[in-house]
Structure 1
């Protein structure tokens, strides 16, 4: 029995030593901290800075206005010149439109007069043809006197006789028939829009002017197109110049990320130059864990290796992945991170972990600055932690 107690005691001592040594020798970090990227807002132009009244560490959403930079001395001379040129182009377009409308109205009035002239001319020729045919019928019947046909060119006999001679009657009938044929030709031509006769052209003055106006209207339409194209080109240049003037005059600075109002680099009301850093915003959607380890542990790590992270004061274990091995003295890589490394940290070997649960757990919030430990190997008491965790 005594030997049994010695054996049991020896096993307990061995187990205790195994646990102590296993816990101490397992790969673990000394100082892990939750970190995140910091976005710096810079002045887009030179001007006066106005910062919205906000407490450091306040929550900001993406697109929220944080500050304004205004240059009250921005040069708008070029924009003013282009706007004046745009006004001239608009005036030219208006005049071109008015001239075109006036020409079209004049053409329509002349077209109405031409149509009215054609109707009256056709009516006149039809009437004259009707009477000319009646005259031919009467001449063919032989019951018309020479005086009755004075329009056809006949003349009364010089001896006062009331009847025509046979020769005179034949000439008068031929002349009358000729007149009918001519009137028929003139009437057919008039109905076709062509006017025959002595002393005028094949179209009345109103129709000739209307045709001239058609040529003028074509030229005016071309002028209108050119005026519109010129106005469009000038308007496009005005829009571009207005955008440049707006950008040169400054404007609002909005948060590019959702996070925390982290740092003010320039005081409210100061005059800043283009490119000067103004504000820093903590990106709460880029949470990572930065830590340092000993050389022995560092040399055993590889990118993509799984790990575990536990925040101080909590029993929850978060799965993690090694995403960066920066080595010793990695001070430069912390330029855009919220929490800078300590001197002790820089004397060891830097490791970065990606912990997806930190970004996905809404109850945690933006826990930048929280400390903890990271583990890279299984430990003897992990089963106890899982039971009581």
Structure 2
């Protein structure tokens, strides 16, 4: 039996070998089947030709050509595989897919890593140094604004600042300066008086020196005369002594000559003594020293000069002390002015570069000293707060190398463990409190390098920390 299908999608038609009948009696059955009888070889050939003609009319020449064309022999590769080989190939392919997909999760199972980790940074809170009103600034600041270090944030003014200390210090300084000026005036007057007295004393010294020199010259002349009188008295005494010894003169004459000799010797000694006294005075005058006498008041002027010098020395010491006091009062006044400036106005500047994290005030608001005004996120020192299991925590140590990878995927950033807080309360000046990590109670703080290059300030981004190795 041969089954043929038409291009038009009709039901398949079957050609069945039935009882041999003559070709002229061949007819189609109602179901589309054609039968013919095969009695002799000649009739077989004739029936085959008629069958081919009929098939050509039914299905077209193209299908007949395809049917009649010889089919190529099937190749070895096109033959179906045996069930054993098919099962082996499927098993190998499944294992390859499983290794490819499951390698990264399997690798993570062997790593000492965190359960959860978040990028963190310290918060710098700027507080009001004085009580007052927010007068300037804050207009352009918003949460998230980036500010450089030293940026002027706001100005707080206090119109009720106490300036009593400045007034008191100014009054005390004014009185000290008046006393300082009075002492300087007295010293100046005494200096002028000393100059006048000094000139008079110098003139007296010169006159006295000249007079002493004249007196010495006069005494020299008296010494010469006294020496001459003494020589004549000695000669007269020798002559009277000789005459008395011979009996030619009375003893009274000899005694008179002896008296005259003693008087002449005494006068000579007196003149020498006067000359010696004048020589001492001359030497003192040469050294600007005076001997007082009751006949001239110039030596008392010299003593007055000494009194003036002593008074001036005392006044200069007082002025020096007063100068030091004035200097201290000036420093005190400057200090009080500085304190008043600090109490009356305060300019708030950013202590570090970063981002505005929170604004607690607004322009025109009354604030008190110590009130928080602005908090700044210090993005220059980023850290990673990691929550780990107790088993992992017990294997960690400060200084241990680690690496951090952002959750959305990036290269592993190197770092190291800087703090192990465990279950104790860690520092609370972080942007994200460690208590926000709730999956595990044990926490570690990791300093990571290069996170600033991943973003302007990636605080709050999550990731994963692997302990014990760094990125290559």
User: Structure 2-normalised TM-score?
Assistant: 0.61
1:265 equivalent among 360, 374, 382: 360
Residue in structure 2 matched with residue 192 of structure 1 by the alignment = 284
User: Structure 1-normalised TM-score?
Assistant: 0.73
Pairs within 5 Å for 1:196-345: 199-200=294-295, 204-292=299-387, 295=389, 302-304=396-398, 305-324=400-419, 335-339=428-432, 345=437
Shift of 1:133: 4.0
CA distance in 2, matches of 1:70, 1:214: 56
Residue in structure 2 matched with residue 370 of structure 1 by the alignment = 461
2:96 equivalent among 12, 24, 46: 12
Going from structure 1 to structure 2, the CA distance change for 1:351 and 1:183 (only over 3 Å counts) comes to same
Secondary structure at the aligned position of 2:118 is classed as strand
CA distance in 2, matches of 1:376, 1:137: 125
Going from structure 1 to structure 2, the CA distance change for 1:196 and 1:227 (only over 3 Å counts) comes to closer
Shift of 1:175: 6.5
Shift of 1:33: 2.9
Going from structure 1 to structure 2, the CA distance change for 1:207 and 1:11 (only over 3 Å counts) comes to same
1:55 equivalent in alignment to 2:145: no
1:113 equivalent in alignment to 2:200: yes
CA distance in 2, matches of 1:129, 1:299: 115
Secondary structure at the aligned position of 2:438 is classed as helix
**Which of 127-136 and 217-226 deviates more?**
127-136
CA distance in 1, matches of 2:367, 2:267: 106
Shift of 1:177: 8.2
CA distance in 1, matches of 2:146, 2:122: 15
Q: Is the 8 A contact 2:393 2:442 kept in 1?
A: no
The higher relative CO (CA closer than 8 Å, separation ≥ 6) is in: 1
Pairs within 5 Å for 1:114-129: 114-129=201-216
Secondary structure at the aligned position of 1:44 is classed as coil
Task: Calculate the aligned-residue CA RMSD, in Å.
Answer: 4.1
Shift of 1:356: 3.1
Q: Is the 8 A contact 2:119 2:382 kept in 1?
A: yes
CA distance in 2, matches of 1:377, 1:196: 103
1:32 equivalent in alignment to 2:129: no
Q: Is the 8 A contact 1:190 1:196 kept in 2?
A: no
Shift of 1:178: 4.6
Q: Is the 8 A contact 1:326 1:349 kept in 2?
A: no
CA distance in 2, matches of 1:137, 1:20: 139
Residue in structure 1 matched with residue 446 of structure 2 by the alignment = 354
Stretches of structure 2 lacking an aligned partner (at least 5 in a row): 1-83, 230-256
1:280-308: per-residue Cα shift (whole Å, max 9, x none)?
11111221123445x57755652445433
1:333-357: per-residue Cα shift (whole Å, max 9, x none)?
58422246797x4354463442431
Number of aligned residue pairs: 352
Residue in structure 2 matched with residue 68 of structure 1 by the alignment = 155
CA distance in 1, matches of 2:105, 2:311: 105
CA distance in 2, matches of 1:292, 1:241: 53
Going from structure 1 to structure 2, the CA distance change for 1:267 and 1:291 (only over 3 Å counts) comes to same
Stretches of structure 1 lacking an aligned partner (at least 5 in a row): 143-165, 379-384
Q: Indicate the structure (1 or 2) with the bigger Cα radius of gyration.
A: 2
Going from structure 1 to structure 2, the CA distance change for 1:135 and 1:270 (only over 3 Å counts) comes to same
CA distance in 2, matches of 1:188, 1:301: 105
Residue in structure 2 matched with residue 44 of structure 1 by the alignment = 129
1:22 equivalent in alignment to 2:106: yes
Secondary structure at the aligned position of 2:449 is classed as helix
CA distance in 1, matches of 2:322, 2:294: 44
CA distance in 1, matches of 2:96, 2:102: 10
CA distance in 2, matches of 1:355, 1:70: 40
CA distance in 1, matches of 2:318, 2:105: 96
Q: Is the 8 A contact 2:150 2:351 kept in 1?
A: yes
Shift of 1:74: 0.7
